[in-house]
Structure 1
Amino acid sequence: MPPPATPVTPGFPAPPEDRRLSPHTGWTRAHWEAVADRLLDALPPFTRPDGAAVTPPGPPSWSGPQVDGLEGFARAFLLLAVRLAGAEGADPAGRTEHWARGLAAGARRDGPGGWPDITDCSQQIVEAASIAVGLHLSRPWLWDRLPPTAQADLADWFSQAVGRRTRDNNHVLFRVVVEEFLDSVGALGDRTGIEAGLDRVDEWYRGDGWYQDGPTRRGDYRDHRDGKIHQGESTYEAGERFDYYNAWGFHYYTLLWSRMAGPRAGARAAVYRQRLHAYLAQYVHLFGGDGAPVHHGRSLSYRFACLAPLWLGALEASTPLPPGLTRRLASATLSHFVRNGAPDARGLLPLGWYGEFRPSAQAYSGPGSPYAAGKGFLGLLLPADHPVWTAPEEELPVERAGRPTALPVPGFLVHGTREDGLVRLLNHGSHYLVAPPGARRDDPHYAKFAYSTRTGPEVGGAALEQRLDNHIAVVSPGGQVSRRERIHRVAVTDHYAASWHRPRMDGDALPAACRIDSVSVVIGAWEVRVHRVVAPVGYTVREGGYALADRDRLRAGVSGTHATVRRGDGLVSAIAGLYGWTAAHVRHGQGSNAFGPYSAVPYCSAVPTAPSVPDPDPDPATATAPLRESVHVSAVLLTARGGDPAHEPPPPGFSVAVDGPVVRLDLPGHASWVVRPGAPRPVAGGPGVLRPA
């Protein structure tokens, strides 16, 4: 049964549904226009009188209130430009003049409301890119109608970005599109910076449509204590970061750059279209049946900005998705957020996921940061008679067949179930290592073993340090919990994924030989995790399942080595300790999860008793105890079919046999899985179904 399409957000003027054209969502182009208008029309009370700064309620970023005001203006202006261009200049609400005044006031560098100058590695470069793209998209109705003095002021302000140093990641593209806009209006003399920037970004392309967000080793970092940028002092390992910046960063700006450049884009445009086509073939699997995106990575307050590449695929005729599927997915995602309170009753997008939740936001995000969500409205650039708007909606991949799908480049195994429309991302590759001087280098939006479309990691308060959900840790006798920082991928297939990591504690207090090898095997709705743990004698081993969150306190139950958490709507998170675990528990939290004020995590624990093993490379400084090797097997479940007994205990008839480091998994009707965590090929057998005798 399709989810209700009628939004619950107060003040949203919901257009009539069309269940013939859109049998799954009921949404049409009119709904998209209505949401865009709602977002824009909520901002005047938070806009400076001259129109050049927009600052919704919320704490400032580390860039300060002046830059935050520019950020709010730039990101909302991009939405205004898309809305204006999609209506071919029609503006019955009379918004254009207001935004044109803001452009003129902000670009006047000697004026009282002028935007901050663009400096090296500044947030101003980021926001200049949004303004440049918006001016390009709305050129006949805005740029071309601005007074010559305003055009000159804007070109002068943009010119400060030419040749500027940027952060060595997706930020390179911000300078590229600013320079391309300047070239398009005859205000750039040398294109070498554009080509050099695009060449740099090409170095981070890893295949299958995926870009890594910057090099693995970097020499630039922002000190999180004061926001200052440091460059060239030393290099550090930054991780292999794959996330939604592929969607709202790399593909977004490379394809829009191609459109801005026109014939100047040359052969690059064809390459970018091919990469987008490959990306969308995988990206479509990261959305649940209700349209919810997997909650993973940073800048998640951008929300439906993740839809940008879907629309670009249609705009550039570079998508493997049928038109009806493109609109279905986009409308399902936007309506999912609207139904869950984003925008809120004021029409605003606060920092958070649905409602406001500051702990999941980054320090670089100001209160206007979430208006990057405007990138998700690019579909309005398609004419109303385009097949994307006129073709009947189609089912999403998870609704047609809930089978696992390997995304080997980022190291993801995407695990969907048709019965409940849930999609889970098992992470055995992508990791974000916090820059120096930070010593605790894990990030909960990257370091977990699993993420989903219905849950988020515990990131607030004490829960952040406890690292319970979707994490395996060794815990010292004093209570210190190990971190999963660098993830060394071993294998990612359509049925299992494997990786290993060295558990870290403050001061690297664990012996260098400590190691956790992990294998995830997908069996129906379950993920069976097999771990080989080398840790000091006397340390506890602990593993958690998915954190559930809700408006009210969650129900929980523990029986032996099984723990279950239930939400009132039938969503269930469970973990079953099948081998190597001695107890199960549930931790309740409050104010720690983006999905609701109350949360709970089921988890298992054990103090291994296997014989100790010698440390092959003892270090007197860290050898606090002899080491012990142990094997642990757990079954982790996240299902929306709560109450169905077949979906709550481990799979009926499932058995585990352990012989040293070798684990055999058996399920009636299936070939056995033989799992050797730590081996180059860690899984043999399965998942083929055996014919009955």
Structure 2
Amino acid sequence: MPHPLALPPEDRALSPYTGWTRAHWEGAADHLLAAVRRYAGPANALINLPGTRPSWSGPRSDGLEGYARTFLLAAIRVAGADGDDPTGLLERYAEGLAAGTRSPTTELRLSDGDLTSWGAITDRGQPMVEAASVAIGLRLTRRWLWDRLDPAVQERAGAWLAQALHRRPVDNNWWLFPFTVGGFLAEAGIDTDAANAAIDRGLERIDRWYLGDGWYTDGRPRAIDHYNGWALHLYPALHAHLAADPALTARYGSRLHAYLADYSRLFDGNGAPIHQGRSLSYRFAAAAPLWAGALLGTTPLDPGTTRRLASGALRYFLDRDALDEHGLLTLGWHGPYPPIVQPYSGPASPYWASGGFLGLLLPPDHPVWTAPETPSPAETTDAVTPLPAPGWLIQSTAADGLVRLHNHGSDDQPADAPVADNPLYSRLAHSTRTGPNAAAGDNHFALLLDGEPTERGPITPLGAGLLGSCGWAASSHRPRHQGVELPGVTVTSLTLAHGPDEVRVHLVRGATPGTAVREGGWAVTGARSSVTDCHARITGDDHLRTELLALHGWTTATTAPAPGGTAFGDSAAVPHLHGTLTTGLFATATRLTAAPAALAPLTALTFAATPTPTGHDLTITWPDMTTTNFTFPPTS
């Protein structure tokens, strides 16, 4: 569906891939800010957007979230225009700041009759998150907002923000919220010792989670997702930029450079970022680290590629119902989609996407705005990219621009007591055009005990690499049933990817012979299905199609509906293979493609497994007659 924004005509000379320029970004920002204005409360302190339910923090916190996250967008817009503010954005947010910080150390409820105060910042309380957005907004607009405030308001607002320096954050990316507040307060000369200490603590904490090659885990041992880009890289990079700190720029800029080399490969030719991890309603916040690399001058990307990726992401969502009939961002992916919404998310939560507009801080004559767009990595050539640090393998195909992420390293499980699988982390694969369905068993290998599939639980990465034009990634896990690991049972899994095709191999050890086993393929929306022997095919929307073909160990194939569909559509189906444990080795070929031309048939793929004392020697001949040999499990 065309987006509802009134924007300038496309410029296909400057932007041959998206048609969008800086003027389109400015127009989109103006639209988003105008749409929320009607929902501002007294004195513009709380912006309570309509929604079906509040977050678990309650309506007042949600109103603060509405203020803070849209203030970040307003600040980027005005700072990027060198203070030009024809609609009076900063005047309204300054009024809200004065009213919101009126009672900085009191926890308040809307029922108290005070309809403006933000209340206290507490240990692990949501206002700590929003304080960071307020602090960035004030830092970006200091000349035009903060420096013109009445001293009493400055004192009050500084005291409210300073609470974040003395409170305990959640032990993940939240450490960067007092860090960010500290950056502004140190610059403003407020509680400077505590501010500088918060900066040091935040950086020390994320350094513990650095995996190398530009990748972090987000607090939990293997929680790897978009928070790498829109938090763990973004906040240190933005602080280094605003502080003009050469040491921080060198340290965190080099990490960002390495990250962007991989991250840029996770965008579809249609603009979509990979659909994986939590807080996906932030959508085009995925563009934030792209712009951050340009701000720091620490990006491996050409200026035209940076803009092509960022504009592609923004346009992807605005063209696909991200805005409701009131012009507001919804909790979902395309339109609203409750299954991907976390309980901490309120109606204004999607406005974390404001960080995606960071490029407006770059002047209009910067090469990211003046250079012609150049193609994204997914549009240039077929590629497989192993990422050993997160335990991932990226597979992309130029004919359709589709990107697939094979997951052998991210599970979002805590270190102490495993929790139920989250399908946005635990699946064997994610992509830019499919989403998981919690009940359908898509992209999941499971033992079936009393008809119930086992969970994957914590994942142990076993490596990722290249074998010629074939990429591989492997992992092991101890399957769980009803929250309990099966004693003595392990599953070692391998993905091999070449062109548009994958081979998945699983070795089950320690389970009872005769146990039922099932593997799911990709969940495709708008699906039409067919099954022949051990080969299931599904054709979906927008030429998307998938296949699941038995290679070893399976006896039957089926397709099944995905109840409620996925984030990509209301109706979806998943192919499955079924078998029972004998030797413990299972192998599957699968394909997900939207290529316009016919491909060599998946059935042309051949597979052989020769037992060895420690596992199997595998030989795969792909449909294009390329051969791959692999020792499984991998030895290093």
Q: TM-score, normalised by structure 2?
A: 0.93
Pick the aligned partner of 1:53 from 30, 46, 51. Answer: 46
Give 2:599's aligned amino acid: A
State how far apart, in whole Å, the 1-side matches of 2:169 and 2:489 are. Answer: 38
In the other structure, the counterpart of 2:207 is 202
Equivalent pair of 2:42/2:115 in contact (CA under 8 Å):
no
Give 2:40's aligned amino acid: T
Q: Deviations over 1:240-272 (max 9, x none)?
A: 11111111101111012223434xx46223201
Equivalent pair of 2:419/2:483 in contact (CA under 8 Å):
no
Residues 1:564 and 2:537 are matched in the alignment: yes
Of the structure 1 ranges 104-113 and 328-337, higher mean CA displacement relative to structure 2 is found in 104-113
Secondary structure (helix, strand or coil) at the match of 1:536 reads coil
In the other structure, the counterpart of 2:86 is 92
CA separation of 1:158 and 1:267: change in aligned 2, threshold 3 A: same
Deviation at 1:536, TM superposition (A): 2.2
Secondary structure (helix, strand or coil) at the match of 1:658 reads strand
Secondary structure (helix, strand or coil) at the match of 1:664 reads strand
State how far apart, in whole Å, the 2-side matches of 1:669 and 1:21 are. Answer: 37
Secondary structure (helix, strand or coil) at the match of 2:543 reads coil
Equivalent pair of 1:572/1:641 in contact (CA under 8 Å):
no
Q: Deviations over 1:5-59 (max 9, x none)?
A: xx7123x102111111111111111110111111111112322132111222221
Equivalent pair of 1:239/1:486 in contact (CA under 8 Å):
no
State how far apart, in whole Å, the 2-side matches of 1:23 and 1:592 are. Answer: 34
In the other structure, the counterpart of 2:436 is 457
Equivalent pair of 2:459/2:477 in contact (CA under 8 Å):
yes
Pick the aligned partner of 2:606 from 655, 674, 682. Answer: 655
Q: Deviations over 1:492-541 (max 9, x none)?
A: 0131111111111115262x221111111112210111111232233211
Q: TM-score, normalised by structure 1?
A: 0.86
Give 2:479's aligned amino acid: P
State how far apart, in whole Å, the 2-side matches of 1:134 and 1:384 are. Answer: 20
Q: Deviations over 1:43-97 (max 9, x none)?
A: 1232213211122222111111111111121111100110111111212223222
Equivalent pair of 1:490/1:498 in contact (CA under 8 Å):
yes
Residues 1:664 and 2:636 are matched in the alignment: no
Q: Deviations over 1:584-617 (max 9, x none)?
A: 1111134241111111111111123x2xxxxxxx
State how far apart, in whole Å, the 1-side matches of 2:148 and 2:548 are. Answer: 62
CA separation of 1:487 and 1:182: change in aligned 2, threshold 3 A: same
State how far apart, in whole Å, the 2-side matches of 1:651 and 1:641 are. Answer: 17
Equivalent pair of 1:184/1:260 in contact (CA under 8 Å):
no
Pick the aligned partner of 1:522 from 488, 497, 503. Answer: 497
In the other structure, the counterpart of 2:230 is 248
Equivalent pair of 1:53/1:102 in contact (CA under 8 Å):
yes
Q: Deviations over 1:525-583 (max 9, x none)?
A: 10111111232233211001111124xxx211111111111114210021111211111
Equivalent pair of 1:70/1:115 in contact (CA under 8 Å):
yes
State how far apart, in whole Å, the 2-side matches of 1:267 and 1:14 are. Answer: 41
Structure 1 residue runs of 5 or longer lacking an equivalent are 1-6, 215-237, 611-628, 682-693
Give 1:26's aligned amino acid: G
Instruction: List aligned pairs for 1:203-282, cutoff 5 A.
Output: 203-214=208-219, 238-262=220-244, 265=245, 267-282=247-262
Give 2:424's aligned amino acid: H
State how far apart, in whole Å, the 1-side matches of 2:146 and 2:154 are. Answer: 7
Residues 1:678 and 2:629 are matched in the alignment: no
Q: Percent identity?
A: 47
Structure 2 residue runs of 5 or longer lacking an equivalent are 105-113
Instruction: List aligned pairs for 1:115-264, cutoff 5 A.
Output: 115-190=118-193, 191-214=196-219, 238-262=220-244
Deviation at 1:326, TM superposition (A): 0.7
Equivalent pair of 1:286/1:414 in contact (CA under 8 Å):
yes
State how far apart, in whole Å, the 1-side matches of 2:429 and 2:623 are. Answer: 26
Give 1:576's aligned amino acid: L
Secondary structure (helix, strand or coil) at the match of 2:474 reads strand
In the other structure, the counterpart of 2:574 is 601
Equivalent pair of 1:52/1:113 in contact (CA under 8 Å):
yes
State how far apart, in whole Å, the 1-side matches of 2:321 and 2:456 are. Answer: 33
State how far apart, in whole Å, the 2-side matches of 1:246 and 1:659 are. Answer: 40
Secondary structure (helix, strand or coil) at the match of 1:320 reads coil
Secondary structure (helix, strand or coil) at the match of 2:570 reads strand
State how far apart, in whole Å, the 2-side matches of 1:279 and 1:212 are. Answer: 13
State how far apart, in whole Å, the 1-side matches of 2:455 and 2:575 are. Answer: 19
- When the two structures are aligned, how many residues end up with a matched partner? 615
Equivalent pair of 1:39/1:343 in contact (CA under 8 Å):
no
State how far apart, in whole Å, the 2-side matches of 1:115 and 1:39 are. Answer: 23
State how far apart, in whole Å, the 2-side matches of 1:343 and 1:288 are. Answer: 21
Q: CA RMSD in A?
A: 1.9
State how far apart, in whole Å, the 1-side matches of 2:547 and 2:325 are. Answer: 34
Deviation at 1:434, TM superposition (A): 5.4
In the other structure, the counterpart of 2:587 is 633
Give 2:448's aligned amino acid: V
In the other structure, the counterpart of 1:540 is 516
Deviation at 1:675, TM superposition (A): 3.7
Equivalent pair of 1:500/1:678 in contact (CA under 8 Å):
no
In the other structure, the counterpart of 1:646 is 599
State how far apart, in whole Å, the 2-side matches of 1:401 and 1:667 are. Answer: 18
Equivalent pair of 1:290/1:421 in contact (CA under 8 Å):
yes
Pick the aligned partner of 2:525 from 538, 549, 570. Answer: 549
Secondary structure (helix, strand or coil) at the match of 1:46 reads coil
Deviation at 1:185, TM superposition (A): 1.2
Secondary structure (helix, strand or coil) at the match of 1:246 reads helix
Give 1:493's aligned amino acid: G
Secondary structure (helix, strand or coil) at the match of 1:588 reads strand
Q: Deviations over 1:377-410 (max 9, x none)?
A: 0111111111110101101111111110111111
Deviation at 1:213, TM superposition (A): 1.1
In the other structure, the counterpart of 1:66 is 60
State how far apart, in whole Å, the 1-side matches of 2:626 and 2:254 are. Answer: 39
Residues 1:15 and 2:20 are matched in the alignment: no
State how far apart, in whole Å, the 1-side matches of 2:31 and 2:333 are. Answer: 18
Deviation at 1:275, TM superposition (A): 1.1
Instruction: List aligned pairs for 1:388-427, cutoff 5 A.
Output: 388-427=368-407
Equivalent pair of 1:327/1:393 in contact (CA under 8 Å):
yes
State how far apart, in whole Å, the 2-side matches of 1:170 and 1:250 are. Answer: 6
Residues 1:492 and 2:481 are matched in the alignment: no
In the other structure, the counterpart of 1:336 is 316
State how far apart, in whole Å, the 2-side matches of 1:412 and 1:179 are. Answer: 34
Secondary structure (helix, strand or coil) at the match of 2:342 reads coil
Equivalent pair of 2:211/2:217 in contact (CA under 8 Å):
yes
CA separation of 1:256 and 1:507: change in aligned 2, threshold 3 A: closer
Equivalent pair of 2:286/2:313 in contact (CA under 8 Å):
no
Equivalent pair of 2:529/2:537 in contact (CA under 8 Å):
yes
Equivalent pair of 1:546/1:601 in contact (CA under 8 Å):
yes
Equivalent pair of 1:531/1:677 in contact (CA under 8 Å):
no
In the other structure, the counterpart of 2:109 is none
In the other structure, the counterpart of 2:29 is 36
CA separation of 1:67 and 1:493: change in aligned 2, threshold 3 A: same
User: Larger helix proportion, structure 1 or 2?
Assistant: 2
Give 2:590's aligned amino acid: V
Give 1:36's aligned amino acid: A
Q: Deviations over 1:147-173 (max 9, x none)?
A: 222211110101111222111111111
Equivalent pair of 1:434/1:441 in contact (CA under 8 Å):
no
